[in-house]
Amino acid sequence: MNKRFLQNVRFAPANSSFPLSLNDFFHLKSKAFLVHKLSESTDLFLTSSLQSSILKLGFASDNFTVNRLINSYVKLRETNTARKLFDEMPEPNVVSWTSVISGFNDTGQPQTALSVFQQMHEDRSVAPNEFTYASVFKACSALAESRIGKSIHARLEMSGRRSNVVVSSSLLDMYGKCNDVETARRVFDSMIWCGRNVVSWTSMITAYAQNARGHDAIQLFKTFNADTLTLDRPNQFMLASVISACSSLGRLQWGKVAHGVVTHGGYETNHVVATSLLDMYAKCGSLSCAEKIFLRICCHSVISYTSMIMAKAKHGLGEAALQLFDEMVAKRIRPNYVTLLGVLHACSHSGLVNEGLGYLNSMVEKHGVVPDPRHYTCVVDMLGRFGRVDEAYALAKTVEVGAEQGALLWGALLSAGRLHGRVDIVGEASKRLIQSNQQVTSAYVALSNAYAVAGGWEDSESLRLEMRRGGNVKERACSWIEIKDLVYAFHAGDLSCDESGEVVRFMKDLEKRMKERGHRGSSSMITASSSVFVDVDEEAKEEIVSLHCERLALAFGLIHLPAGSTIRIMNNLRMCRDCHEAFKLISEIVEREIVVRDVNRFHCFKDGSCTCRDFW
DNA sequence: GTAGGGTTAG
């Protein structure tokens, strides 16, 4: 062996599992061998050793070899070294540019990826190819940056370059992530010319699922399965998105069917699929199934723990959620901002107010998570629910917030003011919402009612007039219940079900029993029940606390309530400060376990006729 | 040689 050559190769420490055999050293002069080793390298020490050889052997000016070296560093997430090599290239080619762009994407630096693309555009010496465009659209997706994405899309169209399935998939994914579902669909439809594969179908299903178009997502999944042109079968990516669509619709039966497909396809052990199933069961009211899935996950992540914490929190099991959080921290799984939102949510929905404040104040110090407006909104909501409205207001005023997140913050305060009859707080929150052009209709209605309650009828009337002139029409709130595999919908103000009969009798009985137990919020149940014509109650109906449908239907079946009544009771119970206590009591009355589910995120469906059978 | 899709909040 050439002694001088060996001096150029850095050797690994004695205890390292260095991936070059003695035999390999005899081939180190060969460019093909170096390139081959680079593509295999999963070891920074090996890649840097190979780099030394490349330099010494005079391959530094060879684009092909240097590109391989750049790719090797990119795979090792050493983007700074990759960038340095790139910057030193006298004439980088399109692969060099694209490798660097894709490297920044893969290491969570999409902004830098876009700036490299911009530099490439200004440089003008090399034209981007399909690979470059696919990487750039991916960067735009990560940033949800539709303005830049659209201009690059236009540049691609003008270049006359034919799009392929990968470029089009990344393009439609970008539009989906930027909430432009219609353009995403147009791209998907245009793909009939370049062909579609399981990735493009998944991207479109995901675009629907992530943009509150769950029915369209499921419809497209059905079309995919019926499509005779594709030989692809649903894989773990597609199933995770379909399950997410079922969650967003709150359709337990569809979710169960999707679970069947998961089991049939052998994807139950995939942790992303399992997490989406967990979330689906929790959102569709079946906490016990969610827990079963959670216990089966062998390799837990921050997301699986966060989903389970959130599930318990939403089902009113605050202490169990906090216990799970402790377990997660003990396992050294680092919580993120969503986990802390779950923890605060747990405190908020279980009356653990001081604990919640403690978590908010120690987030940075203990978990390294800086509270953002969403965390403050959760705490404002928590303080407001438990009557500490002034503290909630004081906290809200300290939060620096944009219009969109401000709507949530001041919306939470508005609810608190309304719940506790604080006209001043309702007025303040409503004004802020109207000024920032957010939730204007809700704010007008709340403010008008607040004036009316305080006796300011003229102010109230003039506000209503102003609201009508501005064309602000209140959308009708809608709730629904799934019994077996059929869905029944009920609109606010719809009096088709017997309001004054069995529902009110049931509520009065519940109120009596709660008073006997010393609970104080019960009077608002009947107030809400009997004031369905007042706008403030219409507002309240948008913030629905729902019950586990199937069990509840069975439960209420025992006391012969019509199916629609359950929805009325749910809406009325939402007004009750001790609603979890009320649920417990109902469980005892009907001798069935009842699980609470929060359907705030769900969207009004239009088609109640779909059943499990025509889904699959 | 380089490229695309999935799960967690409100």
pLDDT tens track for A367-426: 999 999 999 999 999 999 888 999 999 999 999 988 888 889 998 999 888 878 888 899
Longest dimension (CA), chain A: 99
Same domain, A348 and A408: no
> CA A526, CA A514: separation in Å to the nearest integer?
12
Tell me: do A329 and A393 sit in the same domain. Answer: no
User: pLDDT tens digit string along A304-318?
Assistant: 999 999 999 988 899
Nearest Cα residue to A98 out of A131, A62, A60, A140: A131
The CA–C1' separation of A119 and B3, in angstroms, is 19
Residues A68-82: what's their mean pLDDT?
Answer: 85
Spatial neighbors of A302 by CB under 8 A, at least 6 apart, are A328, A333, A334, A335, A336, A339
pLDDT at site A503: 56
Q: What is the pLDDT of residue A431?
A: 87
Residue A142 CA distance to nucleotide B4 C1' (Å) = 13
Would you state the pLDDT for residue A117?
95
A543 has pLDDT over 90: no
For the CA of A246 and the C1' of B3, the distance in angstroms is 31
User: How far in angstroms lies nucleotide B4's C1' from the CA of residue A173?
Assistant: 8
The answer to whether A387 and A421 have CB atoms below 8 angstroms apart is: no
**A183-187, A365-369, A385-389, A500-504: least confidently modelled range:** A500-504
Query: Which residue places its CA closest to the C1' of nucleotide B3?
Result: A131
Q: Considering the domain boundaries, does residue A353 fall inside one?
A: yes
Q: What is the pLDDT of residue A498?
A: 46
pLDDT of amino acid A19:
59
Best CA proximity match to A256, nearest among A603, A612, A597, A594? A612
Determine the Cα–Cα distance for residues A76 and A225; give it in Å rounded to an integer. Answer: 38
Q: What percent of chain A has pLDDT over 90?
A: 41
Neighbours of A433 (CB within 10 A): 26
In this structure, what DSSP letter does residue A578 have?
T
pLDDT single digits (tens) A545-569: 333 333 444 444 434 444 455 555 5
Q: Which nucleotide is nearest to A203 (CA to C1')?
A: B5
d(CA A26, CA A479): 74
* Minimum-distance residue to B9 (CA–C1'): A338
In the structure, how far is the CA atom of residue A563 from the C1' atom of nucleotide B5, in angstroms? 41
Using C1' positions and the CA of A412, the closest nucleotide is B10
pLDDT range class, residue A145, cuts 50, 70, 90: confident
A344 against A31, higher pLDDT: A344
Answer positive or negative: Cα dihedral of A362, A364, A365, A368. Answer: positive
Residue closest to B6, CA→C1'?
A: A237
User: For the residues A418-447, what does the mean pLDDT come to?
Assistant: 80
- Residue A420 shares a structural domain with residue A522: no
Domain identity same for A540 and A570: yes
Q: Which range among A274-288, A348-362, A504-518, A585-599 shows the weakest confidence by mean pLDDT?
A: A585-599
Is A264 contained in some domain?
Answer: no
Q: CA distances (Å), A574 to each of A161, A419, A541, A562, in order?
A: 57, 10, 8, 20
Q: Region A575-590: what's the mean pLDDT?
A: 59
CA of A291 to C1' of B5 (A): 28
pLDDT for the residue A194: 82
Q: Are A110 and A139 in contact (CB under 8 A)?
A: yes
Q: Are residues A403 and A527 in the same domain?
A: no
Closest nucleotide relative to residue A169's CA, C1' based: B4
φ, ψ of residue A610 to 5 degrees: the values are: -70, 140
Which residues face A597 on adjacent strands? A546
- pLDDT score at A279: 95
Mean local confidence (pLDDT), A24-43: 75
DSSP 8-state symbol, A486: E
Helix (H, G, I), strand (E, B) or coil at A157: helix
Q: Are residues A485 and A603 in the same domain?
A: yes
Domain span at A488 = 478-615
| pLDDT beyond 70 at A457 | no
The residue among A368, A398, A417 that closes a domain is A368
Residues A484 and A592 in one domain: yes
Q: For B5, which residue's CA is nearest its C1'?
A: A199
Q: Is A518 left (phi over 0), alpha (psi -120 to 50) or beta?
A: left
Mean pLDDT of chain A: 77
CA distance A414 to A381: 9
Residue A23 pLDDT level (bands cut at 50, 70, 90):
low
State whether A334 and A396 are in the same domain.
no
- Total domains, chain A: 3
CB A132 within 8 A of CB A105: no
Residue A317 lies inside a defined structural domain of this protein: yes
Res A81 pLDDT > 50:
yes
CA of A200: nearest nucleotide by C1' is B5
A489 and A608 co-located in one domain: yes
User: What is the rounded radius of gyration, in angstroms, for the C-alpha atoms of chain A?
Assistant: 29
Nearest nucleotide, CA A96 to C1': B2
Which H, E and C letters describe A214-270, residue by residue? HHHHHHHHHHHHHCCCCCCCCCHHHHHHHHHHHHHHCCHHHHHHHHHHHHHHCCCCC
pLDDT at residue A378, as a whole number: 93
Q: Which of A339, A368, A397 is the last residue of a domain?
A: A368
How far does the CA of A155 sit from the C1' of B1, in Å? 25
Nearest nucleotide to A191 by CA–C1' distance? B4
The residue whose CA lies nearest the C1' of nucleotide B1 is: A68
* Res A15: pLDDT: 43
CA of A85 to C1' of B3 (A): 21
**Whether residue A463 sits in one domain with residue A352:** no
Nucleotide nearest to A106 (CA to C1'): B3
- State pLDDT tens for residues A252-307: 888 988 999 999 889 999 999 999 999 999 988 888 899 999 999 998 999 999 99
Q: Specify which of A176-180, A586-590, A592-596 reaches the highest per-range mean pLDDT.
A: A176-180
- Are A503 and A547 contained in the same domain? yes
Q: Strand pairing partners for A480?
A: A489
Determine the average pLDDT of the residues in A518-527: 46
* pLDDT exceeds cutoff 50 at A540: no
Question: CA separation (Å) from A139 to A70, A132, A143, A152?
Answer: 19, 11, 6, 11
Q: Pick out the nucleotide with least CA–C1' distance to A198.
A: B5
Give the residue from A310, A335, A368 where a domain finishes: A368
Does A338 lie in the same domain as A417?
no
Q: How far is the CA of A378 from the C1' of B10 (A)?
A: 9
Q: Find, among A615, A595, A613, A605, the residue nearest to A553 by Cα.
A: A595
- The number of angstroms, rounded, from the C-alpha of A614 to the middle of its chain's C-alpha atoms is 28
Cα A265 to Cα A261: distance, rounded to the nearest angstrom: 6
pLDDT at site A193: 79
pLDDT value of residue A473: 62
The nucleotides of chain B lying under 7 Å from a protein CB are: 1-10
- How far in angstroms lies nucleotide B2's C1' from the CA of residue A225? 33
Residue A8 has pLDDT above 60, yes or no: no
Distance A48 CA to B8 C1' (A): 38
Output the distance from A409 CA to B4 C1' rounded to whole Å: 37
Domain-located, residue A518? yes
Residue, of A234 and A4, whose pLDDT is higher = A234
Q: Which are the contacts of A475, defined by CB distance < 8 A and separation ≥ 6? A: A441
Nucleotide nearest residue A342, measured CA to C1'? B9
Nearest partner of A443 among A426, A455, A457, judged by Cα:
A426
In a domain, A285, yes or no: no
What local confidence, expressed as pLDDT, does residue A578 receive?
54
